[in-house]
Amino acid sequence: MKKKRGRPRARNTFCVYTIEIMDYEPAYSISVDHLKDINPDPISEQAELKITGKLVYPENMAGKILSVRIVGSRRIGHALEKPDEISRDIEKVGGLEIRGKRAECIGFVSNDMLAYLASGLHAQKMRYIDLFSEPLDHGKAKVTSFHFSEKKNIDEEE
């Protein structure tokens, strides 16, 4: 049986996905953690922003609706405060999946940044998100950076 060979991917390439924010919803939950074998902490919490957006770039995906979850993480906060204690092998700050009708992204920020992002969204000063990632591979990619901005269109970036 012959193995299918894929197109070799160029190293050190990246893609930019620009998302126009259409709506957002903050969410928070706290619970007694019953999964002690996975998480030794007695209580777990999750704070996030659930964002709905429309891809405007790249052009071949323009118009696709994307679900973006920005999740607060105490570990990210710790890594920012004490980078010498954290592994230098961190590869991503999120993940992107675009397959057929399914288009989702998850990103991680420090917990204290969620309030800042929510206030920027509420004031409509953050209207776009640029995701920087490796090229999609089987519909998935690691997001290495994301940037919120108020820019009006792609031409204004130049």
Residue 114 has pLDDT above 70, yes or no: yes
Query: pTM of the full predicted structure?
Result: 0.77
Query: What's the whole-number mean pLDDT along residues 66-73?
Result: 92
For residue 54, the model assigns a pLDDT of: 95
Query: What's the whole-number mean pLDDT along residues 109-131?
Result: 91
Give the CA count within 13 Å in the CB-facing half-sphere of 9: 11
Which residues face 113 on adjacent strands? none
Region of 100 please: left (phi>0), alpha (psi -120 to 50) or beta: left
- Indicate the pLDDT class of residue 157, thresholds 50, 70 and 90: very low
Pick 157 or 125 by higher pLDDT: 125
Query: What's the whole-number mean pLDDT along residues 50-78?
Result: 89
For residue 4, the model assigns a pLDDT of: 54
Residue 52 has pLDDT above 90, yes or no: yes
